Chain A
Amino acid sequence: MSAMTSLVTTVQPARWQDYVQLLKPRVMSLVVFTGATGLVCAGTPVHPLLGAVAVLCIAVGAGASGALNMWYDADIDAQMRRTRGRPVPAGRVQGSEALALGVTLSMLSVMFMGVALNWLAAGLLAFTIFFYAVVYTMWLKRSTAQNIVIGGLAGALPPVIGWAAAAGEAPANAWLLCAIIFMWTPPHFWALSLYTSEDYEKAGVPMMPVVAGAASTRRQILIYSLLFTPICLVPAFTGLGGAPYLAVAASGAAVFLVLAFRVWRSHAGESADPRLDGRLYDVRAGAKDARNLFAFSILYLTLLFATLLAEKLLGVASFMDLTAGAFG
């Protein structure tokens, strides 16, 4: 009877919103934004419907990766405060359903991208899904402290996919956008993990603060920030960004470096915060510097891509064209 009762309680009614949650809508919104920026920055005229389809395919592909991630990581998710309410660990959706949804949407998004736009974009989308679901989720995440460094490539590729969808090629400027997100990922995630490392430790995920300690993580945040911020200025000198972009990138880089320096000097991540239960973004005073860097990193990346997007849509001349005009 007891077994029967527990069997009945595992079957909860799955609402359609639970399947939407499997697609990680918040991650999708970021991917839509960076993918659309790549599409617009390509500068190739695309029919508005096909442009929308390209962005939709990128979003659905990212969602499919999310569903595959939630299928495979249900055991980890069940142990972490941030993720234990997700549909699979909470028992509202079966793991096999998440797997089926992920595989189906992966194939649909890649095939539709290939048929509607081109097969270079479709191939890049397929590679991104594979990299996130297999290389990052199934391999790197549980095996190395460099998981988010290498795995960050999956999150960095959408602008290249968008560019390829519009232009049918992926030139150096598209990869520059990829490099910006790729180098942004370590300081962004490590700043977050400095005040959530207890959760990762409990789940056995080898995040940097768990494996190398807080001091080493803070040092690496500073090193990656020193590498990341100059890259943000490069688009102004490759014909991609204009004067407004250079102003935003340079001033933001200065703030980013100051915040990273403060994290390096702080004691963030030295001990777990007992008040964190259920409140991911609330931290104790000692970890305030890590929280500030985490919050500003989101703002900075958004501003960089929003400025590029606005410049292209408004027809602002690139910084290189301006200087060539002034001195030429």
Chain B
Amino acid sequence: MNDSPTETPPPRDAFERARRGRNIALALGLVAFAILVFLVTVVRLGANVLDRPL
């Protein structure tokens, strides 16, 4: 058996805290990306949509 303190599994709440942090970071990243794509679309296409031949 190994008695090194590093071999003790981390507590469950540490896992859950870390997972929650990762999930929130990923959600914020995805929302920011979606907003960015929307804004770039408005900037790139906005004027062209108004100027298109009818």
Which among A5, A19, A47 has the highest number of chain B CB atoms within 10 Å? A5
**Is there an interface contact between B1 and A53, defined as CB atoms closer than 8 Å?**
no
**Is there an interface contact between A5 and B18, defined as CB atoms closer than 8 Å?**
no
Q: Which of A5, A6, A8, A16 contacts B25 (CB 8 A)?
A: A16
A14 to B1, CA, bound (A): 26
**Is there an interface contact between B7 and A6, defined as CB atoms closer than 8 Å?**
yes
Q: Which of B7, B26, B43 contacts A5 (CB 8 A)?
A: B7
A12 to B10, CA, bound (A): 7
Q: A2-B1, A15-B21 are in contact. Are A9 and B43 (CB under 8 A)?
A: no
**How many whole Å from B43's CB to the nearest CB in chain A?**
5
**Is there an interface contact between B36 and A14, defined as CB atoms closer than 8 Å?**
no
Which among A9, A12, A13 has the highest number of chain B CB atoms within 10 Å? A13
Q: A2-B1, A6-B7 are in contact. Are A53 and B36 (CB under 8 A)?
A: yes
**Is there an interface contact between A13 and B17, defined as CB atoms closer than 8 Å?**
yes
The number of chain A residues touching the other chain, given as a range, is 20 to 34
| Interface check B14, CB cutoff 8 A | yes
A13 to B39, CA, bound (A): 35
A115 to B24, CA, bound (A): 28
**Is there an interface contact between B17 and A50, defined as CB atoms closer than 8 Å?**
no
| Interface check B48, CB cutoff 8 A | no
**Is there an interface contact between A1 and B1, defined as CB atoms closer than 8 Å?**
yes
Q: A13-B17, A14-B22, A16-B25 are in contact. Are A49 and B7 (CB under 8 A)?
A: no
**Is there an interface contact between A8 and B9, defined as CB atoms closer than 8 Å?**
yes
Q: Which of A1, A12, A50 contacts B40 (CB 8 A)?
A: A50
**Is there an interface contact between A116 and B44, defined as CB atoms closer than 8 Å?**
yes
The number of chain B residues touching the other chain, given as a range, is 20 to 34
Contacts of B40 in A (CB 8 A): 49-50, 53, 115-116
**Is there an interface contact between A19 and B43, defined as CB atoms closer than 8 Å?**
no
A112 to B7, CA, bound (A): 44
Contacts of B25 in A (CB 8 A): 16, 19
**How many whole Å from B33's CB to the nearest CB in chain A?**
8
**Is there an interface contact between B18 and A15, defined as CB atoms closer than 8 Å?**
yes
A19 to B19, CA, bound (A): 12
**How many whole Å from A47's CB to the nearest CB in chain B?**
5
Q: Which of B6, B18, B36 contacts A13 (CB 8 A)?
A: B18
Question: Which residues of A71-122 are within 8 A (CB) of B?
Answer: 112, 115-116
What is the chain A residue whose CB lies nearest that of B21? Answer: A16
**Is there an interface contact between B7 and A14, defined as CB atoms closer than 8 Å?**
no
Q: Which of A8, A16, A49, A112 contacts B43 (CB 8 A)?
A: A49
A16 to B20, CA, bound (A): 9
Question: Which residues of B38-54 are within 8 A (CB) of A?
Answer: 39-40, 43-44
**How many whole Å from A49's CB to the nearest CB in chain B?**
5
Contacts of B21 in A (CB 8 A): 15-16
**Is there an interface contact between A9 and B36, defined as CB atoms closer than 8 Å?**
no
Q: Which of B9, B19, B44 contacts A9 (CB 8 A)?
A: B9
Contacts of B8 in A (CB 8 A): 9
Q: A47-B43, A116-B40, A116-B44 are in contact. Are A13 and B10 (CB under 8 A)?
A: yes
Lowest 10 CB-CB distances: which A-B pairs, in order?
A13-B18, A16-B25, A8-B9, A9-B7, A116-B40, A13-B15, A16-B22, A16-B21, A15-B18, A5-B7
10 residue pairs bridging A and B, Cβ less than 8 Å apart: A5-B2, A8-B7, A13-B14, A14-B18, A15-B18, A16-B22, A49-B39, A49-B40, A50-B44, A112-B37
Chain A residues packing against B (C-beta within 8 Å): 1-2, 5-6, 8-9, 11-16, 19, 47, 49-50, 53, 56, 112, 115-116
